[in-house]
Amino acid sequence: MAIRSVDLVLCCEEKLMHICKLTVNNYRSLKDFSIKLKPTTLIIGENNIGKTNLLSALSLILNNEIVSYKNRGLSLVDFNYDTLQDFKKSVANIAINPEEINFPSIIIESTFTDFQNDDEEALVSEWYEDETYKTATLKYEFYCKLLNKEKWVKSVRESLPELNYKLEPEEQEKLYQLRVDSVELPVQDYKYKIEAGLGRVKPDSFQLAPIKIDFLDALRDAKTELSSSRENRLLYRILNNRNDDEYTNIKSSADNLNKSINGDENALSTIKGNITELLGVLSLETETNKNNINFSFSNLNLSELLKKISLEYGDKPITIENNGLGRNNLLYMALVLSHIQSKADTPDFRLVAIEEPEAHISPILQKHFAESVTSNGFFNDKSNRQIILTSHSTHISSHLDLESTVVIFNNNGKLDSHYLLDGIANNAAGKRTKNYLKKWLNATNSIMFLSRRVIFVEGIAEQILIPKFFEMHFGFKPEKMNCQIVNVNGVAFRNFLEIVNNGYFIKSTVITDSDSEKKTKDRATNLKKDFDSEHIKICISQATTFEKDLISANSTGVGKTKIKNAIKNTRPNKSKEPEVEAKFKRKLITQDIFELIDEHKSEFAFDLLSELERNNDFTIPPYIIDAFNFVAGDIK
């Protein structure tokens, strides 16, 4: 289903009841994290940044009706590591009074808003956050229920290895760490509670039932879940979730089947007669027990019938077991989403959370899925469903509305979030920036949101050579430190830097030409003046262009030879001319050599890269070194 970008904007801006804010404390990687959510939200970010934990946290608050049921009771591994270590250190430290020690709690709080009708207001009637009645909150807390925490601390301290101040400092440190490691959080004495609203009312199960989440996690085993042979399988749970009266014909057919096997003219009737005859010989008939037998299908109730149903897919249907992973994953998602559609008339709140929908499907299908699942008519007119997608796929992220795309990133050791277009003004300049980003944040450039560091370059030549220069300078490839090279295909750096400058605070550097001999000679210096900061550094070539700086820095020695060899490959006929050969018999004159490659920059870059692959004897221009050192931070 292809849709226009304007359709996505309308879908995202349409008001409906949704969770507008989620706050998470001490849950796994989310120590102190808060994020705004929209009716349709795409969450992107690098691996292991916390996207899965965010959706898992939501499933602790909301009712899991169909998929990925999660027990609301937690274990030790669900606590944030740093929080757990702080607690253990406070217990091990005898200088801290037992009554001053805080036992950590896991707290997850969701804020609902935009209630559109009486049914939705009834759902949250006791959960309002304040007297404006515009927002309502639901809070999950996993907390320690020990009545005498001070006694517990004293008891644990008595069992810890004793400190010995006569030891050498290094040995004392090892002993202290042993004391810390010996402390265990009494998670067996924890329990959970759910509270709501300003008055912290305790909703009962009846009140919580209409608040639902359908969580399609990334580790879904589509082949297994699409079989209904067991009660814990997805297909069975969805089939069994319908009312019995919707299966009247199936139950009637089962009754007719039982009648058929007891008919007079079939093999079963003959076998039944033979058994009855033999029973007459072998047993006694009494007034209360006659030797009559019948055949029947055992457990031919509706529940057992549903377990026998299987799915087939395609114009030449084959079993699920023989399908490819991609086809089964699409079928899995379609099955869950069809269930959501069927519940459209139910006055409840339902959040659809899909983690990594790109799993096992091609880039074309990823694009199609992204456009379809967020379109106005996907669920149908009556379905007010909040949608959250998380993804690593640039094919998905580049085809969803940027207004509703939020990136989670590491901001100096603390998790932070930023909507891509937040902070960009709504004036004429801001609108031009937004339109540019919507057009050019394609599957290649969107990789900047899956990175920790970004080097922006302006052309194909830089995109070819900068990664090799980086490897020559540091001894490893930029990908090792999750640094990506983003080619903006021109000099429109401002549009990308606006995102970084307004909240996506990752180390970013620009490698750009000075254009000192052009009418745009002030462009680079103005860019530096406007954007140089703690997070951004603009690095400008000394000569007019990137290529001229390369030539100038390698006008003699081995670097000169590499440039000569590269040009021989780029311009084999031209390089044989006597006047051209003469240019390489002396120190290189930058302008003379540049004229040979001016119309062949990308070819020259490829040929120079081939030369650099043989050995690294080449001088990297200083402004590029500055860019590398800035973006690498403390990695030298």
Which DSSP string do the residues of 222-264 spell out, in sequence order?
A: HHHHTB-SSTTSHHHHHHHTS-GGGGHHHHHHHHHHHHHHTSS
Phi-psi bin for 133: left (phi > 0), alpha (psi -120 to 50), beta?
Answer: left
In the chain, which segments carry CATH 3.40.50.300? 1-216+350-417
| Rounded CA separation 234/222 (Å) | 9
pLDDT tens digits, 523-570: 999 999 999 999 999 999 999 999 999 999 999 999 999 999 999 999
Distances in Å between the Cα of 364 and the Cα atoms of 11, 315, 354, 439, 464 are: 22, 21, 18, 18, 27
| Rounded CA separation 357/331 (Å) | 12
Q: Which of 81-85, 344-348, 513-517 has the highest mean pLDDT?
A: 81-85
Lowest-confidence pick of 150-159, 199-208, 222-231:
222-231
Structure-token pair, residue 562: 């590499």
Q: Considering the entire predicted model, what is its pTM?
A: 0.82
pLDDT confidence band for 260 (50 / 70 / 90)? confident
Contact (Cβ atoms closer than 8 angstroms) between residue 33 and residue 24: yes
DSSP classification of residue 571: S
| Rounded CA separation 439/547 (Å) | 29
CATH number listed for the domain at residues 1-216+350-417? 3.40.50.300
Inform me whether the pLDDT recorded for 426 exceeds 80.
yes
| Rounded CA separation 506/451 (Å) | 8
Lowest-confidence pick of 18-27, 356-365, 454-463:
356-365
Q: pLDDT at position 305, please?
A: 67
Structure-token pair, residue 79: 């606590």
Structure-token pair, residue 319: 């079993």
Q: pLDDT at position 291, please?
A: 65
Sign of the torsion formed by the C-alpha atoms of 556, 558, 559 and 561? positive
Contact (Cβ atoms closer than 8 angstroms) between residue 379 and residue 372: no
As a whole-number percent, the residues of the chain with pLDDT over 70 amount to 80
Inform me whether the pLDDT recorded for 73 exceeds 80.
yes
CA 372 to chain CA mean position, Å: 19
Inform me whether the pLDDT recorded for 274 exceeds 80.
no
Q: Which of 558, 563, 605 is nearest to 580 (CA)?
A: 563
Contact (Cβ atoms closer than 8 angstroms) between residue 138 and residue 112: yes
pLDDT tens digits, 293-330: 666 665 566 667 666 666 666 655 556 666 666 667 77
Single-letter amino acid code for the residue at 223: K
| Rounded CA separation 619/296 (Å) | 87
Q: Which of 7, 138, 4, 9 is nearest to 421 (CA)?
A: 9
| More confident: 485 or 350 | 485
Q: pLDDT at position 311, please?
A: 65
Give the helix ranges, DSSP H, for 357-516. Answer: 363-373, 394-397, 428-440, 460-474, 493-501
Strand partners, 36: 21
Work out the burial of residue 516: count CB atoms within 10 Å of its CB; fewer than 13 is exposed, 13-18 middle, 19 or more buried: middle
| Rounded CA separation 95/107 (Å) | 28
Contact (Cβ atoms closer than 8 angstroms) between residue 481 and residue 635: yes
Inform me whether the pLDDT recorded for 2 exceeds 50.
no
| More confident: 444 or 619 | 619
Q: Which of 203, 187, 225 is nearest to 66 (CA)?
A: 225
Inform me whether the pLDDT recorded for 480 exceeds 90.
yes
| Rounded CA separation 437/446 (Å) | 10
Lowest-confidence pick of 11-15, 262-266, 533-537:
11-15
Sign of the torsion formed by the C-alpha atoms of 621, 623, 627 and 633? positive
Query: β-strands 318-319, 190-196: how paired?
Result: unpaired
Inform me whether the pLDDT recorded for 605 exceeds 80.
yes
Q: pLDDT at position 6, please?
A: 31
| For range 86-97, the mean pLDDT | 96
Q: Residue 148: count other Cβ atoms within 10 Å of its Cβ.
A: 10
- How far the first Cα of the chain sits from its last, in Å, is 49
Sign of the torsion formed by the C-alpha atoms of 264, 265, 268 and 270? positive
**Mean pLDDT computed over every residue of the chain:** 85
Q: Residues for the chain: how many in total? A: 636
SS3 113: strand
| Rounded CA separation 236/119 (Å) | 30
Q: pLDDT at position 222, please?
A: 65
Q: Which residues contact 378 (CB under 8 A, 6 or more apart)?
A: 337, 372
SS3 194: strand
Give the largest Cα separation in the chain, rounded. 124
Lowest-confidence pick of 51-65, 77-91, 263-277:
263-277
Give the helix ranges, DSSP H, for 142-217. Answer: 149-159, 169-182, 205-208
| For range 263-278, the mean pLDDT | 71
Only one residue has tokens 């939705």, namely 120
Q: Which residues contact 552 (CB under 8 A, 6 or more apart)?
A: 542, 543, 590, 621
pLDDT tens digits, 353-410: 888 888 767 777 777 777 776 665 555 445 568 889 898 877 777 777 788 999 999 9
Q: pLDDT at position 365, please?
A: 73
pLDDT tens digits, 107-127: 999 999 999 889 899 999 999
| More confident: 443 or 617 | 617
DSSP one-letter string for 39-104? SEEEEE-STTSSHHHHHHHHHHHSEE-SSS---S---GGGB-HHHHHHHHHHHH-TTS-GGGPPPP
| For range 152-172, the mean pLDDT | 90
